[in-house]
Amino acid sequence: MASAAILLYHGSVFIWYFFLTYSLLTVTATEQPAGVFLYGGQWKYLTVLNVFVFLSFWALYSYDRQLVYPEGLDKVIPQWLNHAVHSAVFPIAVLEIVTSPHHYPPRRKGLILLGICSISYISWVIWIYLADGNWVYPFLGLLSPFGFLIFLLCSHILAVFVYIVGETLNYILWGEVQNKKMKI
């Protein structure tokens, strides 16, 4: 019975993300905000691929929304979709940790994979800047080259922290279960 509930949960989350992807790809506006989708269209944000951005997005948004989500985007992306992509990911991630044990690779390998994902994402952001002359996230244009490097370092440290917290919570909640399964 528990496995049926978990299957239902995972199926629901899959459908939810499929719906979000479809919604993001089909968003249309009669009035495009200036400079928002010049290069890369809606894919320039890659939010649909990298949705666990809850902490960084809302921290920057709370400080100054113009730095990460200019008001012009409200004309293109409905408020419910913004929250679905930037807010709903947190409770979904928490539910995932609580309902499903995960097998993490050895920490070194996991952090290397995380680093590859981080470098890929920032490479895309830099590519867009080089191709278009505009930063995907306007606050990046306010940083000096040294400030940009410090931001990248802090972002990666935050990603590593979130990874280790997830790994630790997984062990606290499921470590015993995984060890018993391995002994059988």
pTM: 0.67
pLDDT value of residue 135:
84
Number of H helices, E strands in the chain: 6, 0
Confidence category of residue 183, pLDDT binned at 50, 70, 90? very low
Sign of CA dihedral 91, 94, 100, 103: positive
Mean per-residue pLDDT, 103-122: 92
| Residue reference for tokens 């279960």 | 177
Confidence category of residue 148, pLDDT binned at 50, 70, 90? very high
pLDDT value of residue 171:
93
> What percentage of the chain reaches a pLDDT higher than 90?
20
Q: Cα torsion for 175, 180, 182, 184, to the nearest 10°?
A: -170
Confidence category of residue 179, pLDDT binned at 50, 70, 90? very low
